[in-house]
């Protein structure tokens, strides 16, 4: 076994007798030797990664488990609400370089070069030929909207070289949207980036600083207003507008009620939004997670490393307040800080607790 869990919590993996070997870190440059002669390796292995994802061989997706379900387009994937199926999932880059204290993956997973634009397009075309027709694409990068030179090449080549300008889901940050607004707008309009996942996390500058997000509430609002504007224009011209996939966290240690109200106010500002709200989780491997674990404030254990969104994950957090907030019980307080034209918008987001 291997992956992030093995890297940040190896002691938990060592207790599982069924694991013959445990690889910490990237393993693409060690996996073949390990399979050829497993006895030559200790049980706990430090992995060796490639310098660039361009060095990776094309993945044989038929090696993936086949669920043998009548509507499952194996080895592609079914639609999940972001676009029509069959869905092709792909990576263009690995590791977000920012240092947010709820994640901070770059501190324990080595960064590496990005897969070339041509490789990404060739892989999608291959999947379309062999297993398609593809309906849409999910780019599972932790941070797609980075490296402007790569993005400009994607902007130039994807609409021209891909078999189809498939709509896709991909992630970004509000500060980079604000930094490169013209590039962002061109990608949304010209490459059919129609599900834009942005890690807003909070509408409060206080909380964004607690999270070391390196974004401000103003950055968030600039990104929101820009995508709203693009969507309004496309809709007025008869096109399907892009949607926000808005990643939001509540129940962050140190968050006040007013901070939480600011986050709901920010959500109300978004048009065409698919809110993805979760309660903060102190996972090992993250700076804030380690702090809360050391202080005995984490309610997580190796038995509940799941993605149930409404789990009570930190001691001392008033989850009853957040449940009422998401049911719209504090709309009067939320609306007091909003302009009149947004006050009529529903503040009920209980159904948006969909991942953690």
Residues 51-97 have pLDDT tens digits of 888 988 898 999 989 999 988 999 999 998 899 999 999 999 988 88
Whether 58 and 88 map to the same domain: the answer is: yes
CA distances from 65 to 57, 62, 70, 76, 130 (A): 19, 8, 15, 11, 18
Residues 140-199 have pLDDT tens digits of 999 999 999 999 999 999 999 999 999 999 999 999 999 999 999 999 999 999 999 999
Whether 135 and 168 map to the same domain: the answer is: yes
Whether 333 and 212 map to the same domain: the answer is: yes
- Determine the Cα–Cα distance for residues 293 and 136; give it in Å rounded to an integer: 40
| Structure-block tokens of residue 10 | 């190896």
Choice among 83-87, 263-267, 305-309 with the minimum mean pLDDT: 305-309
> What CATH number does the domain containing 157 carry?
3.80.30.20
Whether 40 and 60 map to the same domain: the answer is: no
What local confidence, expressed as pLDDT, does residue 356 receive?
41
pTM: 0.91
- Determine the Cα–Cα distance for residues 298 and 280; give it in Å rounded to an integer: 11
Q: Please state whether beta strands 44-46 and 22-24 pair in parallel, antiparallel, or not at all (unpaired).
A: parallel
- Determine the Cα–Cα distance for residues 277 and 249; give it in Å rounded to an integer: 6
Q: Is 237 helix (H, G, I), strand (E, B) or coil?
A: coil
Whether 347 and 327 map to the same domain: the answer is: yes
Whether 221 and 302 map to the same domain: the answer is: yes
| Structure-block tokens of residue 259 | 């901070």
Split into its structural domains, the chain has a count of 2
CA distances from 217 to 170, 202, 220, 263 (A): 21, 8, 5, 9
Whether 14 and 124 map to the same domain: the answer is: no
Whether 90 and 19 map to the same domain: the answer is: no
Whether 191 and 292 map to the same domain: the answer is: yes
What local confidence, expressed as pLDDT, does residue 6 receive?
87
Whether 10 and 71 map to the same domain: the answer is: no
Whether 76 and 10 map to the same domain: the answer is: no
Which of 9, 33, 49 represents a domain boundary (last residue)? 49
The answer to whether 25 and 109 are in contact (CB under 8 A) is yes
Whether 44 and 87 map to the same domain: the answer is: no
The answer to whether 238 and 75 are in contact (CB under 8 A) is no
Helices (H) and strands (E) in the chain, counts: 14, 8
**Element at 299 (helix H, strand E):** none
Domain range for 174: 52-352
């Amino acid at each position: 076994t291997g992956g992030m869990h093995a890297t940040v919590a190896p002691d938990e993996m060592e207790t599982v007798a069924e694991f013959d070997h445990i690889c910490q870190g990237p393993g693409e440059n060690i996996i073949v030797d390990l399979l050829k002669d497993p006895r030559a390796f200790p049980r706990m292995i430090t992995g060796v990664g490639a310098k660039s994802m361009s060095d990776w061989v094309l993945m044989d997706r038929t090696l993936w488990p086949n669920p043998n379900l009548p509507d499952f387009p194996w080895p592609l994937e079914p639609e999940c609400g972001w676009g029509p199926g069959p869905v092709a999932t792909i990576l263009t880059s690995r590791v977000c370089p920012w240092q947010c204290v709820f994640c901070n993956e770059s501190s324990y997973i080595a960064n590496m070069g990005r897969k070339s634009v041509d490789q990404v397009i060739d892989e999608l075309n291959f999947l379309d030929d062999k297993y398609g027709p593809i309906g849409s694409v999910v780019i599972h990068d932790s941070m797609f909207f980075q490296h402007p030179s790569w993005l400009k090449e994607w902007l130039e080549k994807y609409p021209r070289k891909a078999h189809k300008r498939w709509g896709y889901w991909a992630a970004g940050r509000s500060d980079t949207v604000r930094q490169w607004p013209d590039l962002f707008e061109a990608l949304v309009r010209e490459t059919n980036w129609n599900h834009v996942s942005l890690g807003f996390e909070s509408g409060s500058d206080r909380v964004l600083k607690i999270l070391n997000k390196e974004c401000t509430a103003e950055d968030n609002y600039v990104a929101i207003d820009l995508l709203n504007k693009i969507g309004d224009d496309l809709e007025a011209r008869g096109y399907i507008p892009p949607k926000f996939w808005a990643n939001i966290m509540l129940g962050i240690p140190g968050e006040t009620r007013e901070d939480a109200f600011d986050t709901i106010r920010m959500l109300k500002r978004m048009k065409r939004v698919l809110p993805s709200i979760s309660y903060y989780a102190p996972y090992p491997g993250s700076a804030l997670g380690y702090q809360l674990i050391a202080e005995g404030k984490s309610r997580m254990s190796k038995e509940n490393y799941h993605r149930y969104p409404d789990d009570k994950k930190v001691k001392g957090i008033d989850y009853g307040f957040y449940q009422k907030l998401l049911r719209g019980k504090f709309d009067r307080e939320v609306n007091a800080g909003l302009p009149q034209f947004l006050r009529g918008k529903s503040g009920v987001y209980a159904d948006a607790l969909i991942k953690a």
